[in-house]
Every structure is written in structure tokens, then in C-alpha cells.
Structure 1
Amino acid sequence: MKKYAKLLPFFVPGIALYLALFIYPTVTGFYYSLTDWDGLSPSYQFVGADNYANVAKDIIFRKSIVNNIKFMVAVVIVQTVVSLLLALQLSKQTKVNVALRSLYFVPTILSSVSVGFIWTFVYDPSLGLLNGLFETVGLTSWTQNWLGDSGIAIFSIAAVQAWAHIGQMIILFVAGLQAIPEELVESAKLDGATKLQLFLRVIWPLLAPAAAIVVSYTTIQSFKAFDLVFTMTGGGPAYSTEILSTYIYNSAFMNYTFGKASTASVYFLVLISFITFLQFRALRTDRVSY
């Protein structure tokens, strides 16, 4: 015990930060979710589970969950598939591949607000680059009001989210691919495995831990895309791009219902934890061995 006691001072700063920045805010948020606090008044009433019932009945809250799930599914599929395909092409350590990986990583270092403003201009129905490109190549029927059409606005923002973070996922997949023993790949090739068989039987099972990180991280990113959504649409039109983070913001800072916002945050935490758990179970990373 004396040996471990000497190490205790090294853990104290980390534990203190964890308690102050995670445990305390989480417990406090849960407490306020049981009150009607408006965020300004020194006093408030304890309302118990009423907030949870009222938020669950809120049509806008339900719509924000549906929008967030649509957004998440679109981002996870596009970002994971595209980054995996690019990583397979860029996994070799050559000068060209290193340069391309760096190029794909550039959007990641931009702030989400900057990305939002850039793509708002790209999507502009009158002066935007995207519609202008379609018109130039004769695809006028493809032009859209990308952020003004409630049917496609959420997917337009999802495309931007995927574009901005594909570089990160490429790096994670490349790291996973480079960790696969080369002798296993060569052995499969000598046994006559096709490229598809090599990927399905050798590469993908060994890449599952990296894929689990990519999918879970992408999921968390898609639920935290407040700044991108707020910059591009503010949740409109007609709440078609309202997601949980914008709903929480509007409840707390626009409507001054901090109790309601705290309740939505608890729902947010439970939902994202449940989805991430299902993803890890589906990828079966606990059964992967090297």
C-alpha cells in the first residue's frame, strides 16, 4: 500500500479536474432538471419529474430527436464509408499519400463556424457555387434551395459535417490499417484470396477496433454539431434542422427555461450513451484479436 500511496499525488490533479468539470456539472444539471429555474432568478420551485413528462410531450423536442437521428445516420454512413475507401488507397507510406492525407485533413483544423459560413455561401440558391456549377454543366434540374427546403436541409448540413471531418477519420483508419501484420495479408494473397475476400476475411476483422472508434466518435460529433447547424440555419426552416443541441440552447438562452434545458440534456446524455453502446456491440470489438 505504501508503494501506491506514493503515486497518489500524481492522480489528485486529474481526479480533481474530472470531478470539477464532469461529475459536478452532471449532478448539478440533473438537479436543475427537476426544477423550474429560469437561469436568472435566485429562487426556483422543485417540480420533480414534471419537466421530463413535459419535454417528452414537446413536439419540437421529438422533431429534434428525429432530425438528430437523420443527421447522425447520414454523417456516420458517408463519413465512415468515404474515409475508409480513401484510407485503403492512402495507407501506404509514400510521399504522395502523406501529402494527400495532409490535404484531406485541412478542413478539420477549420472552426465549425468558418466552415458553416463558407458552405452557406456554397449552398446559396442564387449566387452559390454549387448551383452555379450545376447550371454551368447543364444540370439545371439539380439546382436546389439546399438550406431553404425543409426536406433536404438536414442532409445538406450532414454533407458539410462529413466533409469537414473525413480527414480525421482517414488518419484513424490509416493507423488501423498500418497496424495489421503484413504477413497475414501476404499469406492470404498466396492462398489465392481475392481483394474482396482479403478485405472481408482479413482486413475488416482486424480493423474493427479502429472502425468502432470512428463510428462512435462520428456519432458523438453529429450530436454535438450545434455550431455548424446554428451558423447555417439556426434550426430552420420550420424546425427541419433543429437538433438536440440547438433545442437545448433555445430552451436555456432564448426561452430562459433552464430546468427544461437541463431535462433535455439528460435525455441527450441517455440517448447518445445508448446509441454508442449499440454501435460497440454491433462491431463486436471485444471479439477481435491480433
Structure 2
Amino acid sequence: MNHTVVTQFIMLGLTQNPELQGVLFCVLLLIYMVAFLGNMLIVVAIICNAALHTPMYILLLGLAIVDIVCTNSIIPEVLWTMLSTESTISYSSCMSQLFFFTWSLGAEMVLFTTMAYDRYMAICFPLHYSTIMNPCTCVALLSLVMAIAVTNSWVHTGLILRLTFCGPNTIDHFFCEIPPLLALSCSPVRINEVMVYVADITLAVGDFTLTCISYGFIIRAILRIRSAEGKKKAFSTCSSHLIVVSLYYCPVIYTYIRPASSYTFEKDKVVAALYTLVTPTLNPIVYSFRNKEMQAGVRKVLLKH
């Protein structure tokens, strides 16, 4: 049977309502500016300030870079699609977007776990923290995060590249993600679904469990703090971290643990927005800008320029 191989996809975006397009464009542009500028400020502040060259801030630097990659792989393309008359994306651009998004997805999940472990060591073993979490260990952990993320992205992108897209080419989503692409494939997708399920169990469920265990030990240590003010401050920090982590992991687990046949486009676009748009915007606020040392570092950068 002869098939016409798809060379581009039609992206339906977040909404088909013309009345909402203008408002949605402004909201997305605002989210992009806040996320991009906020994370760039963190990167510059940490690099330029020697006082911030500590394990905690090096990991925050890694998180900021991952969020920059995530937002730049998705939002500019979405904004361009909303402005153009033809809402299309080429096959190669779609695969490129898929690779960088999947990389940032894997890196962010492992980084959250690494950061939770770093805080666990700092709070529960303060006397041994500087010995265990030295610069070499921190660089090694970041290298491991990047290696896991690249491997995860190569596997999933490679498996998508082997599929044939010969029928409908309309993606009812706002970016190229694995589930809607599997729904369009003319080839069997069983191996893709198995690998997505394996990755979701190991990276998403596994990392989320380890992160929660780390924060469980942290909360137990906080309960031993005698100062009511200190206890309140520590609980405030932990709760905000757990909220952001949950906003990331839960939607990811929900999206990727199901077979492609059960994908519900309208609902799942909203779910995807949580881990692609909301979390990269919240991360600088929750993890960095509430920190006095980071505030001082950002202030120095702004005053210099």
C-alpha cells in the first residue's frame, strides 16, 4: 500500500476560540518573559557571585538552565504559531522540539531529587555536609543528571523517529509531545508505550518517591527545632518546595503512565501546561528569589548593569 509520508504537522494549539487567542497570546508572552528573565537572572547571579559557588546554588544553576531550555523549546514556537496564518510545524522542527523538551523533562525530575537530597544532607547531617557535598560531588551529580536526561531523550526521540506518519497530521496539542504523536502513528507503537511506561516508573514515580522520602526526613528534623520561628520558617520553605514538586511530578505521571489510546486532548493540554509553563515560572520564585543570599546576588547583578 502506498502512503504519503508526513513532512509537517498542523498544531491546533491551546484553544481554537478566536476570542481567546489574543488574551492567551499575552498570557503566554508574560509567562515566557517571567520564566526566561527570572531563570537568566539566577544563572548570571550564580556565575558572577563567588559567594554563591556552593553545592545548593550550583544545583539551582542547573535547574535554571533546564527551565530555560524547557521554555525556549516550547513557548516561542507556540507564540509564532498563534501569530502565523498557518499553524504548522515541520517534521524536523517537531522532532527537535520533542528532543529538547524530553531532555528538560528528565533533567528536571532528577534535579528535584538531587536538590532534595542536598537539603536532606544539609539539615540532617550538618557536620558532614561540607565533606560529602563538596564541589567534586556536586559536579559529578550534575553530570549524572545530564547523562540520564540525554539518554532518556535519545531513547524516546529515536523510537519516535522510527515510526511512520502517513495519515492525519493534525496534533491537538500546543507542542510536540510523545502521547499525541503516538496517536498519529501508522506504525505499531507498543515498544514506545512500554519504554514510556518504564521511564515514567523509574524517573517520575521513582524520583518523586525519593524526593518525598528526603523531605520526610527533613520534616522530622524540623520538628526537633525548639525555636517556634525557626520551625515555622523551615516548614514554609519545605511546603512551598513540595507544592512545586507535586505540581511537576503528578501531571507528568498522569500523562505518561497511560497508553496513547486513552489520551484525552482537551483535558491533557491543561495538564501539560502545569509542567511546561507553570513550574518553570514558579521555580525561580520558590527556590531562589525567596532566598536572601540569592536576592543579594541578583541585586549585585542589577546594580552592575
User: Is TM-score (shorter-chain normalized) higher than 0.5?
Assistant: no
TM-score (norm 1): 0.25
Which one has the largest radius of gyration?
A: 1
Higher helix fraction: Structure 1 or Structure 2? 2
TM-score (norm 2): 0.24
